[in-house]
Amino acid sequence: MTITLKTGADIAAMRVAGRLAAEVLDMLTPHVRAGVTTDELDRLSHDHIVNVQQAIPAPLHYAPAGYQPYPKSICTSINHQVCHGIPGERVLKNGDIVNIDITVIKDGWHGDTSRMFIVGEGSIAARRLCQFTYDAMWKGIVKVRPGAHLGDIGHAIQTFAEGAGFSVVREFCGHGIGTRFHEEPQVLHYGRPGTLEQLVPGMIFTIEPMINAGRREVREAGDGWTIVTRDRSLSAQWEHTVLVTDTGYEVLTLSEGTPPPPAFVARTALAV
């Protein structure tokens, strides 16, 4: 396994790309409401990335081995859709939950982040799932520091989510990122502490747990991209891109509209 460590100049470029990705989500926030189609959200995002940010939407025409080229500029995964949902004519309605996943390429560098949105008020169960998934992502982020292991991240996410009665999707994971969309290492959202690669300064990767309200099993939908829960239970996902620093971590996908970290993050920082 070859993990590319980023230089100071690389990190500065990744900060720009990460901020731009987060700002697309800021721009979309007032548009995520009942009556809008996911195609319209895709159009708004594409226009903003290309014309305002002078960047490239990384998902558009992305075609890893075995896949047809992805046809849109963002991913929109609704309710029981886990990830990689393709925008289309579907109209969002009150009570839906939707993950919007944004990856931009700016000056050759990728910024990758996603957020959950609740359309209208949402059910208590849906709100609880989205909040616990957000907290689970941060449970993993706060484990990032030199000398820690990737298994520490996965273990923290898994024990937190399963302790709340949820399940963790195993088939998809976080990933290294830089001049390529997906690099080493793979960042599992389950595991045992003290296992897998040791973290060193200059590593950049995503942490993006997919948490199901029901069982963890998933399947691929007929479009060849969208992943759904087998039992049709709700699924949620949040994603940040994270840098390993000399003393801990830095989240690279922050913007003015980024939700604040949970309260336990400040407590953890004080304890380090």
pLDDT value, residue 266: 78
Tell me if 184 is assigned to some domain.
yes
111 within domain boundaries: yes
Give a yes or no: residue 208 inside a domain. Answer: yes
The answer to whether residue 114 sits within a structural domain is yes
Domain assignment present for 167: yes
Please tell me the predicted confidence (pLDDT) of residue 260.
Answer: 95
Which pair of tokens denotes residue 88? Answer: 């289309």
With respect to residue 151, please indicate whether it lies within any of the assigned structural domains.
yes
Query: Which CATH number fits the domain that encloses residue 131?
Result: 3.90.230.10
**pLDDT exceeds cutoff 90 at 235:** yes
Taking only the tens place, the pLDDT of each residue in 186-231 is 999 999 999 999 999 999 999 999 999 999 999 999 899 999 999 9
**For 33-72, how does the pLDDT look when each residue is reduced to its tens digit (9 = 90+)?**
999 999 999 999 999 999 999 999 999 999 998 899 999 9
In a domain, 88, yes or no: yes
Tally of domains within the chain: 1
Q: Is residue 150 scored above 60 in pLDDT?
A: yes
**pTM of the model as a whole:** 0.95
- The boundaries of the domain holding residue 34 are 8-271
**Does residue 1 sit within a domain?**
no
How far apart CA 184 and CA 200 sit, in angstroms, is 13
